[in-house]
Chain A
Amino acid sequence: MFESLLRVQQTFFDMNVIGRVLPQLFMVGLPNTLLLAIISSLIGIVLGMLVAIGLSSRNLAVRLPCRTYVDVLRGLPHILTVYIIGQGLPIAGLALFGRNPYAYAAIAIGIIEAAYMAEIFRAGLQSVQKGQIEAARSLGMSAASTMRYIIIPQGVRRVLPPLTSQFILVIKATSLVFLLGLTTQQRELFSIAQDAAINGANLSPLTAAGLFYLMLTVPMTYAVNAWERRMGLSGKRGQADA
């Protein structure tokens, strides 16, 4: 039994191997992963919110394309979407971002995440008390103003937990950029670990990368929870819910 534990340690926790790959993970992988995660998330949030508003529209001509968008991008394998954007476009003669794999990846991951976030935001928007919406309209606020100052601020705060989960998924989805071909200096956390694992025939680099991912996702979760508490949202709601 001790022997098998030793083999586990050699395969996943070989400190020499981890030590050799740490500098690359920290200096190259971490910034690349972080940058791609942030840009993709921003695209996902903005586009996701627009689509969420579209999903709540009473106009079928607006709602239907949004619905289709969400269904298709959530349903297709993410790898396929990345290939379509990152390789399909150049092959079709539309090399919009030259040879930069991160730009294509950011768009691809961004539009994928937007589809998931649209559903999350939609649930949030629709959970806002209808009475408050009527009260706002009764004061003369336009539909757009009501959306902007009443519905969105409350709707977003209500869905912070599933949004956080989605951000964690974005951080890990950044590994998809490897599909589009990276130079050594372009590698993000996962591809650095994969390369080291293959070349050294040892999985310890993946453990090291895993730790870096945790370094990103865990503090983010705590930060969002702290912000949620500061907004006084985990407290009780007003009596008007009766």
Chain B
Amino acid sequence: MNLRATLSGVSVAMALSLTPALAQELPADAKLIVPGQLTVAYRTDDRPVSFIDEAGKPAGFLVELETEIASRLGLKVEFIATDFASMLPAVRNKLYDTAAFQVLVTPEREEVVSFTTPVGYSMSQLVSLKSAPIEMIDGAVGKAVAVTRGSALIPMLEEMAPGVVVREFPNIASSLNALLGGQVDALFTGLNVATDLVKDHAELTTSQVVATGHTAFPVASDNPGLKKALDETLAAVMMDGTFTAAYTKWLPDVPIPEELYAQYPGMPQRDPVQ
């Protein structure tokens, strides 16, 4: 299992071709579960960010990013599939070094683990039926809106549209079905997912985009050495355009948030989205 994951990690790194890997140094006090390897939790069902491809290998935007970061630190990489609910406690309990998840940073979560510098800025939209569209966020007041359970988007939506009735669904597929079946008036989700949905379903439309916090990689709180290494490598990946290239490849229709450019001043920007 180890060998296969390592081979897949290596092959993904080779596919990255473009930028030459710039070596980062791993601080002496950085702790790794398996020496010489970055052990990364990932999701199998969050296309195109972190998922399992037809060949059964971990793939996706954040998988590629984590692979690149590991490679620059001179580490092998192993991806282990897990679900969202148990992932943060598992990072704290030293089952994984970090995760290839879009984790929204909240004060509650910061009590459990530390986070790197921002990897993304969450932008979200309402998706509704063209026959009964909701255009502005406050149009959700008094309506039934589907959100993926446990999502940190829920309190944010309730703040932006007081009186909204939020129904939590286990995944985006069931939220979509509920919308198509008229069981809810809209669904609220991240920009990249919303864009995909509207592309695949002609009867759907989207609302205004709102900012909903930032995402980052989790690290165990008692591992500042690893956090420092990840932060520095992340910054390098941002500044030399590797991040931008990967983002454009995996999320062609989604713009990079302005807040991210502001976080890493000078990072190359992507071409505008059509």
Contact = CB atoms under 8 A, between A and B. Distances in A.
Asked if A and B form a direct contact in the complex, defined as CB atoms under 8 angstroms apart, the reply is yes
Interface stretch (A68-76, A161-169, A196-204): A196-204
A95 B168 CA distance: 19
Interface in B100-115: 106, 108-109, 111-113
B85 A181 contact: no
A87 B253 CA distance: 29
Contact of A199 (B86, B92, B93, B152): B152
A91 B150 contact: no
A90 B84 contact: no
Residue of A90, A178, A181, A183 most packed against chain B (CB within 10 A): A181
Contact of B178 (A181, A191, A199, A203): A181
Interface in B178-201: 178, 180-184
A198 B167 CA distance: 16
B60 to A, nearest CB: 21
A11 B93 contact: yes
B168 A91 contact: no
A2 to B, nearest CB: 15
B149 A91 contact: no
B89 interface: yes
A77 to B, nearest CB: 14
Nearest to B144: A99
B146 interface: yes
Contact of A181 (B86, B108, B146): B146
A179 B85 contact: no
B170 interface: yes
B169 interface: yes
Interface in A84-133: 87, 89-91, 95, 99, 101
Contact-size category for A = 20 to 34
B216 to A, nearest CB: 14
A175 B268 CA distance: 47
A203 B174 contact: no
A95 B106 CA distance: 38
User: What does DSSP make chain B's interface, helix, strand, loop or mixed?
Assistant: mixed
Contacts of B165: 183
Given A87-B178, A194-B149, A198-B85, A179 B170 contact: yes
Contacts, number: 97
A184 interface: yes
B82 interface: no
Contacts of B86: 197, 203
A202 B85 CA distance: 8
A199 B86 CA distance: 11
Contact of B85 (A7, A83, A89, A194): A194
Nearest to A197: B85
Contacts of A198: 84-85, 149-150
B181 A195 contact: no
Given A87-B178, A99-B183, A191-B168, A202 B89 contact: yes
Given A198-B84, A199-B152, A180 B178 contact: yes
B89 A183 contact: no
B168 A181 contact: yes
Interface in B239-272: none
B109 A201 contact: yes
A183 B167 contact: yes
Given A87-B183, A95-B181, A99-B183, A200 B108 contact: yes
A26 B165 CA distance: 22
The 10 closest A-B pairs by CB, nearest first: A90-B181, A198-B150, A201-B88, A181-B167, A201-B112, A91-B181, A87-B177, A181-B169, A198-B85, A11-B89
Interface of B: 84-86, 88-89, 92-93, 106, 108-109, 111-113, 144, 146, 149-150, 152, 165-170, 174-175, 177-178, 180-184
